[in-house]
Protein backbone atom coordinates (compact mmCIF):
# COMPACT_ATOMS: atom_id res chain seq x y z
CA UNK A 1 0.00 0.00 0.00
CA UNK A 2 1.21 3.47 -0.88
CA UNK A 3 0.51 6.37 1.43
CA UNK A 4 -1.12 9.27 -0.39
CA UNK A 5 -1.55 11.89 2.30
CA UNK A 6 -1.50 12.20 6.06
CA UNK A 7 -2.75 14.72 8.58
CA UNK A 8 -2.73 14.87 12.39
CA UNK A 9 -5.82 12.68 12.68
CA UNK A 10 -5.77 10.40 9.67
CA UNK A 11 -4.16 9.19 6.48
CA UNK A 12 -5.04 7.73 3.08
CA UNK A 13 -3.46 4.89 1.14
CA UNK A 14 -3.78 3.46 -2.33
CA UNK A 15 -3.75 -0.27 -2.96
CA UNK A 16 -2.90 -1.17 -6.55
CA UNK A 17 -3.69 -4.80 -5.80
CA UNK A 18 -7.20 -4.14 -4.48
CA UNK A 19 -7.69 -1.24 -6.90
CA UNK A 20 -9.08 0.97 -4.16
CA UNK A 21 -8.15 3.54 -1.52
CA UNK A 22 -8.04 3.14 2.24
CA UNK A 23 -9.04 5.91 4.59
CA UNK A 24 -7.74 5.71 8.17
CA UNK A 25 -9.66 7.97 10.49
CA UNK A 26 -10.84 7.80 14.10
CA UNK A 27 -9.04 4.46 14.46
CA UNK A 28 -11.01 2.88 11.63
CA UNK A 29 -10.01 1.73 8.18
CA UNK A 30 -12.38 2.02 5.24
CA UNK A 31 -11.90 0.85 1.66
CA UNK A 32 -13.23 3.27 -0.96
CA UNK A 33 -13.47 3.30 -4.73
CA UNK A 34 -12.58 6.49 -6.62
CA UNK A 35 -16.25 7.31 -6.94
CA UNK A 36 -16.89 6.82 -3.20
CA UNK A 37 -13.85 8.88 -2.29
CA UNK A 38 -14.95 11.81 -4.46
CA UNK A 39 -18.54 11.54 -3.17
CA UNK A 40 -17.31 11.42 0.44
CA UNK A 41 -15.10 14.46 -0.13
CA UNK A 42 -18.12 16.30 -1.52
CA UNK A 43 -20.06 15.50 1.65
CA UNK A 44 -17.25 16.66 3.91
CA UNK A 45 -16.72 19.83 1.88
CA UNK A 46 -20.41 20.65 2.13
CA UNK A 47 -20.24 20.89 5.94
CA UNK A 48 -20.65 24.56 6.74
CA UNK A 49 -18.03 25.29 9.39
CA UNK A 50 -19.13 28.89 9.92
CA UNK A 51 -22.66 27.73 10.62
CA UNK A 52 -21.38 25.13 13.08
CA UNK A 53 -19.20 27.68 14.86
CA UNK A 54 -21.92 30.31 15.14
CA UNK A 55 -24.78 27.96 16.04
CA UNK A 56 -25.58 28.18 19.73
CA UNK A 57 -27.56 24.95 20.08
CA UNK A 58 -26.28 21.97 22.11
CA UNK A 59 -25.45 19.98 18.97
CA UNK A 60 -23.58 22.75 17.23
CA UNK A 61 -20.01 21.50 17.59
CA UNK A 62 -20.41 18.10 15.95
CA UNK A 63 -21.48 16.73 12.57
CA UNK A 64 -22.75 13.29 11.67
CA UNK A 65 -21.48 11.93 8.40
CA UNK A 66 -21.79 8.59 6.62
CA UNK A 67 -19.58 7.17 3.88
CA UNK A 68 -20.96 6.58 0.41
CA UNK A 69 -22.32 3.05 0.97
CA UNK A 70 -23.12 3.83 4.60
CA UNK A 71 -20.48 1.35 5.75
CA UNK A 72 -19.39 3.75 8.43
CA UNK A 73 -20.80 6.72 10.26
CA UNK A 74 -18.54 9.37 11.73
CA UNK A 75 -19.35 11.73 14.54
CA UNK A 76 -16.96 14.57 13.88
CA UNK A 77 -15.84 17.45 16.03
CA UNK A 78 -14.98 20.76 14.39
CA UNK A 79 -11.26 20.03 14.59
CA UNK A 80 -11.83 16.62 13.01
CA UNK A 81 -13.91 18.14 10.20
CA UNK A 82 -11.13 20.62 9.41
CA UNK A 83 -8.62 17.78 9.48
CA UNK A 84 -10.76 15.53 7.28
CA UNK A 85 -11.28 18.34 4.75
CA UNK A 86 -7.51 18.78 4.57
CA UNK A 87 -6.90 15.03 4.35
CA UNK A 88 -9.33 14.49 1.47
CA UNK A 89 -8.30 17.52 -0.54
CA UNK A 90 -4.63 16.60 -0.06
CA UNK A 91 -5.42 13.09 -1.25
CA UNK A 92 -7.20 14.34 -4.35
CA UNK A 93 -4.27 16.63 -5.16
CA UNK A 94 -1.90 13.65 -4.91
CA UNK A 95 -4.14 11.62 -7.21
CA UNK A 96 -4.28 14.46 -9.72
CA UNK A 97 -0.50 14.73 -9.55
CA UNK A 98 -0.18 11.00 -10.13
CA UNK A 99 -2.48 11.29 -13.15
CA UNK A 100 -0.35 14.11 -14.56
CA UNK A 101 2.83 12.06 -14.04
CA UNK A 102 1.29 9.06 -15.81
CA UNK A 103 0.19 11.28 -18.67
CA UNK A 104 3.66 12.78 -18.99
CA UNK A 105 5.44 9.43 -18.81
CA UNK A 106 3.11 7.55 -21.13
CA UNK A 107 2.28 10.20 -23.68
CA UNK A 108 5.14 12.66 -23.27
CA UNK A 109 2.78 15.63 -23.49
CA UNK A 110 4.75 18.71 -22.56
Partner 1 sequence: MKDLMRQRTSIKPEIIDILNEQVRIEATASAAYLAMAAWCDQHGWDNSADHFYTQADEERMHMLKLFRYVSDMGAAAISPQVGEVQHDFSTLKEVFETALDNEIHVTESINKIVVACRNANDFATESFMQWYVQEQVEEEYVARRAVELFDIMGDSGMDLILIDERIPKIVYQEAGAGAEGGEEA
Residue 90, classed as helix, strand or coil, is: helix
Strand partners, 33: none
Q: By the 8 A CB rule, do 47 and 65 touch?
A: yes
**Span interacting with partner 1, options 22-30, 38-46, 49-57, 74-82, rule CB under 8 A:** 38-46
Q: By the 8 A CB rule, do 42 and 32 touch?
A: no
Q: Which residues contact 49 (CB under 8 A, 6 or more apart)?
A: 78, 81, 82
Rule CB under 8 A: choose which of 33, 69, 77, 104 binds partner 1: 33
Q: By the 8 A CB rule, do 39 and 86 touch?
A: no
Rounded to the nearest whole angstrom, what is the least distance from the CB of residue 52 to partner 1 in the complex? 22
Pick the closer one to partner 1 by CB: 11 or 78.
Answer: 11
Residues 41-100, interacting with partner 1 (CB under 8 A) = 41-42, 92, 95-96, 98-99
List contacts with partner 1 (CB under 8 A).
2, 14, 16, 19-21, 33-35, 38-39, 41-42, 92, 95-96, 98-99, 102
Amino acid sequence: MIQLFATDYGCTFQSDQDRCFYLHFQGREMAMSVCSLIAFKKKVDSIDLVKLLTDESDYSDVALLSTCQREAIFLLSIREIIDLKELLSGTLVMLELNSILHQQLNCGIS
